[in-house]
């Protein structure tokens, strides 16, 4: 089997609810979906996460021609071509995100060709139902709106929720964290995402001010390049630190673990190097005694890939799910999103179990 061509679909969906984080916000959601075609008539879908228009440009202008002629069943060969063969290495950034999308699509093809779900290729089924959390409470001026949104998510059956604050000082945002904790009660696991919006001094103050509200983890409190500062922060606060959505390859995560900078690792399959590289990251994390909760905040294609990885990987925890209605989500998962009692139930459709209907392209595709 050989790859014959690659299509990249840029999807854009206007927001139906605000998504305000510490460093700004969004007006639209964009997804870069990749469809890999083969001479056997089997196609696969993947997704690159990051700068969607740039990912499309990179694939269309370079990676597509490099992939044509390769056997999608030989994932390691494809990884060697994209990540290790070039004279100038692209160790981080949009090139890696673009290659991650193609690699993901090849796993989809491989599962379809062998008539098995992708989790069978990643170690076999460890669990059918994956504990999940909702990532859909964003900073708003009106604190009650945030608390009400948290209650809406709780009513959906989730027992873990993530809120995004940090637009204001730790002192001012304390009221938001407090209101949400009081709204959802003591049993709800509550994560707080700073989206790399604080410096070390601010993050220390935030941890001290917010610790009475039983924070399950503090996510990306600092800029991703500040690994030493992240390690210093971890040593002086009681709240566990989660980070890694902006890190790449197992080597990058090894540095986080070597520096004892994180309690929970958060690789993104559509950024870190693809499905196999994320599986490698999970192995490195297991050796370091660090659990993995993959970053998963994009379309239904990334959701499916992340769920298959977690279904086959014991040291992963808590599948991130977007309940905002702002992403192209359910329309891409062939059997639909099955959520029961705060757990995602994976199906046994061959490959990743995703498709891109014409109706989605007609509604969201950017020419």
| DSSP designation for 62 | I
Q: Strand, coil or helix: what is 32?
A: strand
How many Cβ atoms are within 10 Å of 10's Cβ, its own excluded?
17
pLDDT at 249: 97
| Spatial distance between the Cα atoms of 63 and 105, rounded to a whole number of angstroms | 14
Q: Does the fold of domain 121-345 match that of domain 3-115+358-364?
A: no
Q: Which fold does the domain 121-345 belong to in CATH?
A: TIM Barrel (3.20.20)
Give the model's pLDDT for residue 72: 98
* Segments making up each domain of the chain, as ranges: 3-115+358-364, 121-345
The per-residue pLDDT for 24 is 83
Residue 296, token pair as written in the block:
């998963």
Whether 86 and 75 have beta carbons less than 8 Å apart is answered as no
Domain spanning 3-115+358-364 has what CATH number? 3.30.390.10
Fill in the DSSP letter of residue 48.
Answer: E
Please list the residues that pair with 259 across neighbouring strands.
none
Write the DSSP symbol of residue 332: G
Q: At 49, list the tokens.
A: 């996460």
Q: Edge-to-edge strand order for the sheet containing 28-38?
A: 3-14, 28-38, 43-48
**What residue has token string 């989206």?**
195
> Rounded to two decimals, what is the model's pTM?
0.96
Of the candidates 293, 287, 304, the one whose C-alpha atom is nearest the C-alpha of residue 347 is 304
| pLDDT on residue 87 | 62
Distance between CA atoms of residues 331 and 252, nearest Å: 34
Tell me the angle at which helices 300-311 and 275-288 cross, rounded to the nearest 10 degrees.
50
User: Mean pLDDT by 10-residue block, N- to C-terminus, for the chain (367 residues)?
Assistant: 98 88 86 98 98 97 96 96 83 95 98 98 97 94 96 94 96 98 97 97 98 98 97 97 97 97 98 98 98 96 97 97 88 82 93 95 89
Residues in the chain: 367
The H-assigned helical ranges of 166-244 are 170-184, 200-210, 227-236
């Amino acid at each position: 089997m050989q790859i014959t061509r690659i299509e990249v679909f840029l999807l854009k969906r206007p927001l139906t609810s605000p998504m305000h984080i510490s460093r700004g916000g969004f007006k639209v959601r964009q997804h870069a979906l990749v469809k890999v075609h083969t001479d056997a008539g089997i196609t696969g879908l993947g997704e690159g996460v990051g700068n969607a228009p740039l990912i499309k440009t990179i694939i269309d202008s370079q990676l597509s021609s490099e992939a044509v002629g390769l056997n999608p069943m030989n994932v390691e060969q494809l990884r060697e071509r994209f990540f290790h063969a070039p004279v100038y290495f692209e160790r981080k950034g949009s090139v890696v995100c673009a290659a991650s999308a193609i690699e993901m699509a090849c796993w989809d093809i491989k599962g379809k060709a062998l008539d098995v779900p992708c989790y069978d290729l990643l170690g076999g089924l460890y669990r059918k139902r994956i504990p999940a959390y909702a990532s859909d409470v964003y900073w708003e001026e009106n604190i009650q709106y945030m608390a009400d949104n948290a209650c809406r998510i709780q009513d959906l059956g989730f027992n873990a929720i993530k809120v995004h604050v940090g637009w204001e000082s730790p002192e001012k945002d304390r009221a938001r964290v407090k209101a949400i904790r009081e709204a959802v009660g003591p049993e709800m696991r509550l994560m707080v995402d700073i989206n790399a919006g604080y410096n070390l001094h601010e993050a220390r103050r935030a941890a001290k001010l917010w610790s009475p509200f039983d924070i399950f983890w503090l996510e990306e409190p600092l800029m991703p390049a500040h690994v030493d500062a992240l390690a210093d922060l971890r040593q002086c606060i009681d709240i566990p630190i989660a980070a890694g959505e902006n890190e790449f390859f197992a080597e990058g995560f090894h540095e986080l673990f070597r520096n004892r900078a994180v309690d929970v690792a958060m690789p993104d399959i559509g950024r870190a190097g693809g499905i196999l590289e994320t599986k490698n990251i999970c192995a490195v994390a297991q050796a370091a005694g660090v659990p993995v909760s993959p970053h998963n905040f994009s379309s239904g294609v990334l959701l499916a890939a992340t769920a298959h990885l977690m279904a086959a990987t014991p040291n992963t925890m808590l599948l991130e799910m977007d309940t905002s209605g702002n992403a192209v989500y359910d329309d891409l998962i062939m059997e639909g999103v099955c959520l029961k009692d705060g757990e995602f139930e994976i199906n046994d459709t061959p490959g990743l179990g995703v498709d891109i209907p014409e109706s989605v392209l007609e509604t969201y595709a950017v020419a």
